[in-house]
Amino acid sequence: MDFLTLFAVYVAVVLTCIALVCRYSGQQQTPFSLLFNYISKLTAPFTPKWLQRFSQWTLHRLFHQRNNMFIYLHILLEGAVYAEFTYEVFGFCREMDTTLTSLSVPYVLLAVKSLFFYLCIKRDPGTVTKKRVAGQLQIYPYDRRMFHPGVSCPTCQLLKPARSKHCRVCNRCVQRFDHHCVWVNNCIGALNTRYFLLYLFSVCAMAGDIALLTGDMLLHAVLRSGLLRASYLDEHGQQQQAGPLFVIQHLFLTFPRIVFMLGFLVFVFFLLAGYALFHSYLALANQTSNEWYKSRGFVCRHCRPAAADHLCSPAPDRSRRHYYSRGIVQNLREIFFPPRPVHKKDN
């Protein structure tokens, strides 16, 4: 298999991963889960019982219980990128007269990102408790479509404030629940959505800046080497002018770790940039991921096919999708300055 085929497969896999993540993000039934279940059924007769129990326990621990594995994986990947950037790209950039100010930006972004990452992990997302629930019930009105008054959480045994949801991973109800993020091992809710948004944008900026510096370094390496004016002998012994594919192959063979890191950063940038834009749209519309997924195909839980005289319509009510929106400025204010319950003073 030649380099062109390998490079095409690499690009196809990256683009396919981006498309699948964007298409099935947040859905419970995905091709990955269906494929895993199918493979498990096929291999069950040949797999020892202890191995089956271990794999089920591992998956349960990873995706259905709180654990720090994805935090450690996040730090490991980040450390690998910065180690490669520091020990190879940084030196090449200094030889090409890149300013220290430009080279220091990724490290400043790393410090900023680490702060927001820590806040996402440690800050309470807005847990609904016995002491808080009375005040939390006052913050948002019930839309009577997705959120109804008088509904209690069967696990927490508390009345559910509007826009709240019980997180099975954290085993708690969260005010203005958005989603549970495995990368920060915490729920994203009313009190830490602002940190999560800033974390996403700082990661995108970090990946984009390192990718630009690395791409600039590789471009200068190509221009200084004169590869664009070079020629080579093909497999038939004929002289050919070096084109883009030859240059890419030369860079891959000369700087394999740097090129692989650049591809990884481009993948991460576009993936997280799309995710950050999606959450920016939700912030501007004052909507959560949980509400967005429900509004895509909402069916009233009280409706049944035989209940033709029920007042609720089984079709989603698009006019009430942005029920909690109060305008862009007020929506952003609510994200960065979460509303607090109003305590009435006794006369």
Residue 292 CA to residue 24 CA, distance in Å, equals 14
Is the CB of residue 181 less than 8 Å from the CB of residue 196?
yes
Domain boundary among 279, 309, 331: 279
Domain presence at residue 189: yes
Backbone phi and psi for residue 232, each to the nearest 5 degrees, phi listed first: -145, 165
pTM for this model (two decimals): 0.79
Mean pLDDT split into 10-residue runs, the chain, 347 residues? 64 68 54 65 71 60 70 93 93 87 95 96 93 92 90 93 92 93 92 96 96 92 73 64 71 84 90 92 94 70 39 44 88 92 54
Give residue 311's pLDDT.
Answer: 41
Domain presence at residue 306: no
Whether residue 257 sits in one domain with residue 113: yes
Domain presence at residue 185: yes
Whether residue 98 sits in one domain with residue 49: no
Residue 88 CA to residue 193 CA, distance in Å, equals 36
Whether residue 220 sits in one domain with residue 124: yes
Domain presence at residue 325: no
Q: What angle do CA 199, 104, 214 make, to 5 degrees?
A: 85
User: How many structural domains comprise the chain?
Assistant: 2
Give residue 165's pLDDT.
Answer: 94
Give catalytic residue positions.
181
Domain range spanning residue 45? Answer: 31-64
Domain boundary among 44, 64, 84: 64
Domain boundary among 279, 309, 336: 279
Give residue 35's pLDDT.
Answer: 66
Whether residue 259 sits in one domain with residue 215: yes
Whether residue 194 sits in one domain with residue 180: yes
Whether residue 180 sits in one domain with residue 44: no
Domain presence at residue 268: yes
Domain presence at residue 137: yes
Whether residue 192 sits in one domain with residue 77: yes
Whether residue 144 sits in one domain with residue 241: yes
Whether residue 76 sits in one domain with residue 59: no
Domain presence at residue 321: no
Total residues belonging to the chain: 347
Residue 154 CA to residue 166 CA, distance in Å, equals 9
Q: DSSP states of 168-228 as a string? A: TTTTEEETT--EEETTTTEEE-TTTHHHHHHHHHHHHHHHHHHHHHHHHHHHHHHHHHTGG
CA distances from residue 83 to 9, 169, 210, 246 in whole angstroms, order as listed: 27, 33, 12, 28
Whether residue 166 sits in one domain with residue 57: no
CA-nearest of 191, 189, 193 to 201 is 193
Residue with tokens 């960065």: 336
Whether residue 134 sits in one domain with residue 48: no
Whether residue 56 sits in one domain with residue 84: no
Domain presence at residue 45: yes
CA distances from residue 70 to 121, 163, 181, 201, 243 in whole angstroms, order as listed: 12, 27, 10, 19, 41
Give residue 141's pLDDT.
Answer: 93
Backbone phi and psi for residue 235, each to the nearest 5 degrees, phi listed first: -70, -15
